[in-house]
Amino acid sequence: MVKIGNVVLDNGMPKICVPIVGRSVEELVQECRYLQDKIYDVVELRIDFLKDVTSLDAIGEALTAVRTELPNGAILFTFRTKEEGGETAVPESYYFELIQYAIKSGKVDAVDVEYYRNRDSIAQTLAVAKEQGVTVVMSNHDFAKTPSFEEITERLIGMKKLGADVAKLACMPNSAKDVLTLLSATEAVKSQYPDEPIITMSMGKLGAISRISGEIFGSALTFGSAKKASAPGQLEVTTLQQILRALH
């Protein structure tokens, strides 16, 4: 059973994750308070939006503020690299330093670790996360295209083989067929690993169907926007929750 905080990522209706993308501690606090009347399961702290993200002290301040606002919340800590659609470019050594800092802070329940990063650093980060009881979501994002069926399945299975608790892949469709490729690959991997959570999505308006069909094809978590979307195609969180309930 894989959890983010107290949220179990199991089969059935996908859990809802809301990204917060404040550029300052004050903005992050506002976003957390905006969520008070929303229905969701996990908050993704997209720390790459923080204007002072190159300072571990600033990251520590942000973590403390978010945890204070969401004392019982399930928090996924993510620094999305520039190469995979993030806001800020940093050296890879610092990328891993800040993720391990977040793990050791005791203020997050899960971290995102990108699949196409240094393998030794990934292994070290996985070991630290396991030691601290923090869930690892391993991810890959392609904002330009949809990889082939074989590539998608290979990447998701590769993440599992590296030791990820959750494998995640997001890609951009350029046709309806691309969306079908992503959904088909999700189903294929899920059928091989029925008891292990995976997260997939096809981005943009064309891929919106993938954000609500997880129960059918096997994606355990979907992303809905609150104040501001962190990726193209995210549905507003309340709308997303209503659609999922209706389908369920």
Q: Which residues are documented as binding site for 3-dehydroquinate? A: 44-46, 80, 211, 230, 234
Please tell me the distance from the alpha carbon of residue 215 to that of residue 2, in angstroms, as a whole number.
17
Binding residue positions: 44-46, 80, 211, 230, 234
- Sign, CA dihedral 238-240-241-246, equals positive
Paired residues of 3 in beta bridges: 8
Do residues 17 and 55 make contact, with C-beta atoms less than 8 angstroms apart? no
Identify the CA nearest to 124 among candidates 82, 92, 151, 90. Answer: 92
**Which is catalytic among the residues 168, 177, 227, 228?**
168
Token digits for 164?
């990820």
Please tell me the distance from the alpha carbon of residue 139 to that of residue 171, in angstroms, as a whole number.
11
Token digits for 34?
């905006």
Phi, psi of 72 (to 5 degrees): -110, 10
The kind and range of the H/E element at 157 are helix 149-162
Instruction: Let me know if 145 is a catalytic residue.
Output: no
**Which is catalytic among the residues 15, 107, 141, 190?**
141
Identify the CA nearest to 101 among candidates 37, 56, 71. Answer: 56
Please tell me the distance from the alpha carbon of residue 164 to that of residue 93, in angstroms, as a whole number.
20
Instruction: Let me know if 168 is a catalytic residue.
Output: yes
Phi, psi of 225 (to 5 degrees): -90, 150
Residue numbers annotated as active site: 141, 168
